[in-house]
Amino acid sequence: MEKLIIEGGRKLQGEVEISGFKNAAVAIIPAAVLAGDVCVIDNLPNISDVVILSTILKDLGAEVSIQDTKTLSVDTRGIKECFIDYEAAKDLRASYYFLGAALGRFKKARVVYPGGCCIGTRPIDQHIKGFEALGAKVDIEHGIISVEAEKLIGAEIFLDVVSVGATINIMLAATMAEGITTIENAAKEPHIVDVANFLNCMGAKVRGAGTDTIKIEGVKELKGCHHSVIPDQIEAGTYMIAAAATGGDVVVKNVIPKHLEAITAKLKEMGVSVKEEGDSLRVKVTKPLKNINIKTLVYPGFPTDLQQPMSSLLSIAKGTGVITETIFEGRFKHVDELKRMGANIKVEGRVAVIQGVKSLMGAKVSASDLRAGAALVVAGLIAEGETEIENVHYIHRGYDHLYEKLTALGAHIRKAF
């Protein structure tokens, strides 16, 4: 089992290039099923979720080729039906997008209940409600979700909770439904817009993505297209946090600064200098950092996916900070590991109270999920001495070339087995 060893205490300095967005890529790859044609998807991150989804496409009968780890060419004409079992999909969440895409194209799909990070209960009732509203019958038996419809008919769907996954899945299923589908109380995250742009590039008629009302006018068929995935705001945010935590000076390149406003605002509130330079953000520490309060919210609020890495930074900021996690009830599993490293954090339900300490100490720790892993990497970069992180496979779900990028910024980080 791969482990990650970090010799902490070095300021990160230099430039880091941000890769394509995991959460957009993992929806766009399954969405290619809808085309029944050749799609070229560019700027993909080299992460395990992308590798798994590409393998699933191949196993379903698509012709898949990857160039430079970044560009996927996929011909989905050979796919005739969609069944995805436990072994194929247990390690990621996004397998559920094959439900919406295959329902749209074949009016039928069977996909194992999704996996992904264990950060709360993560129900999929809103996805099911959406599929049913479009006319599909949904059954869940022995851990397999089956969806089937004679035909799909556009409907008005009001989501009970703002869900990224349900918004995207309903968009996928509705692209070839008869008539108009309206999703109200839709999620507004940047990757919703990226997926809508990909669908429109294939010939779909999706309007309003990025607002809380999305309208999809069904079309008879879609065609292949070429699409480039947007930069990963969560990877970018993680490097911004790591730069601040190590007292560094880092230019985070190839980002859309607008997507990073929530994290930029919070870093500035702590006393970090964040300057926009075109499609880069320069993050520099010039004075001691003060603690702050954070509440995770749907976009454009502070993203839950950055809450865990941010808690490592708050652990060494002066004073007391409070994190309120409103999206996932189980997203504080990293806290016990941070405590091993000397952090002073008390968790009660969805609230973590962090009393800043002078520094963290290297220790043996274990990642419980992707962003818990990112939090431990940030903590390891700050800590005095050596930090050994287990369960690194979680981190590889979402961070492209982590070792190379951190090493180029001056970190001492290596693999061990």
Ligand X SMILES: CC(=O)N[C@H]1[C@@H](OP(=O)(O)OP(=O)(O)OC[C@H]2O[C@@H](n3ccc(=O)[nH]c3=O)[C@H](O)[C@@H]2O)O[C@H](CO)[C@@H](O)[C@@H]1O
Ligand Y SMILES: C=C(OP(=O)(O)O)C(=O)O
Binding residues: 22-23, 93, 122-126, 305, 327
**Of residues 53, 398, 402, 411, which one binds ligand Y by CB under 6 A?**
398
Which of 188, 218, 190 minimizes the C-alpha distance to 204?
218
Draw the binding track, 10-39, toward ligand Y (x: CB under 6 A; -: no contact). Answer: ------------xx----------------
Instruction: Identify residues 290-329 at the interface with ligand Y (CB under 6 A).
Output: 305
When CB distances are held under 5 to 8 angstroms depending on the partner's kind, the choice from ligand Y, ligand X, none that residue 321 binds is none
Is 190 near ligand X (CB under 6 A)?
no
- Fill in the amino acid letter for 138: V
Contact 134, 109 (CB under 8 A): no
Catalytic residue among 39, 82, 117, 225: 117
**Distances in whole angstroms, Cα of residue 416 to Cα of each of 191, 371, 390:** 34, 20, 10
Query: Least Å distance between CB 51 and ligand Y?
Result: 14
When CB distances are held under 5 to 8 angstroms depending on the partner's kind, the choice from ligand Y, ligand X, none that residue 227 binds is none
Residue-wise DSSP of 276-341:
EETTEEEEE--S--B---EEB-STTSB-GGGHHHHHHHHTTSBSEEEEE--S-TTTTTTHHHHHHT
Given the complex with ligand X, which of 27 and 317 has the nearer CB atom? 27
Is 305 near ligand X (CB under 6 A)?
yes
Draw the binding track, 367-396, toward ligand Y (x: CB under 6 A; -: no contact). Answer: ---xx-------------------------
Is 319 near ligand X (CB under 6 A)?
no
Draw the binding track, 140-179, toward ligand X (x: CB under 6 A; -: no contact). Answer: ---------------------x-xxxx-------------
Residue 358 host element (H or E): none
CA angle (197, 25, 225) in 5-degree steps: 45
CA angle (135, 141, 146) in 5-degree steps: 35
Contact stretch for ligand Y (CB under 6 A) within 9-17, 113-121, 338-346, 348-356: 113-121
Given the complex with ligand Y, which of 35 and 171 has the nearer CB atom? 171
- Name the burial class of residue 131, with classes exposed (0-12), middle (13-18) and buried (19+) by CB atoms within 10 angstroms of its CB: buried
Name the one residue in this structure whose structure tokens are 């009970």: 160
**Of residues 4, 33, 39, 117, which one binds ligand Y by CB under 6 A?**
117
Name the one residue in this structure whose structure tokens are 């994290």: 263
**Of residues 12, 16, 26, 378, which one binds ligand X by CB under 6 A?**
26
When CB distances are held under 5 to 8 angstroms depending on the partner's kind, the choice from ligand X, ligand Y, none that residue 334 binds is none
Please enumerate in sequence order all residues whose Cβ is within 8 A of that of 299, keeping only pairs 6 or more positions apart, or say none: 187, 188, 189, 190
Contact 165, 129 (CB under 8 A): no
Q: Which residues are annotated as a binding site for phosphoenolpyruvate?
A: 22-23
Tell me how far apart the alpha carbons of residues 308 and 285 are, in angstroms, rounded to a whole number.
Answer: 20
Gyration radius from the chain CA atoms: 21
Tokens of 341: 């490293």
When CB distances are held under 5 to 8 angstroms depending on the partner's kind, the choice from ligand Y, ligand X, none that residue 398 binds is ligand Y
Tell me how far apart the alpha carbons of residues 170 and 49 are, in angstroms, rounded to a whole number.
Answer: 21
When CB distances are held under 5 to 8 angstroms depending on the partner's kind, the choice from ligand X, ligand Y, none that residue 30 binds is none
Is 116 near ligand Y (CB under 6 A)?
yes
Given the complex with ligand X, which of 165 and 380 has the nearer CB atom? 165
Peptide bond into 300 cis (omega under 30): yes
Draw the binding track, 66-105, toward ligand X (x: CB under 6 A; -: no contact). Answer: ---------------------------xx-----------
39 catalytic residue (yes or no):
no
Draw the binding track, 72-101, toward ligand Y (x: CB under 6 A; -: no contact). Answer: --------------------xxx-------
Tell me how far apart the alpha carbons of residues 137 and 129 are, in angstroms, rounded to a whole number.
Answer: 10
Is 330 near ligand X (CB under 6 A)?
no
Active site residues: 117
Name the site residues for ligand Y (rule: CB under 6 A). Answer: 22-23, 92-94, 116-117, 119, 305, 370-371, 398
Name the site residues for ligand X (rule: CB under 6 A). Answer: 23, 26, 93-94, 120-127, 161, 163-166, 187, 304-305, 327-328
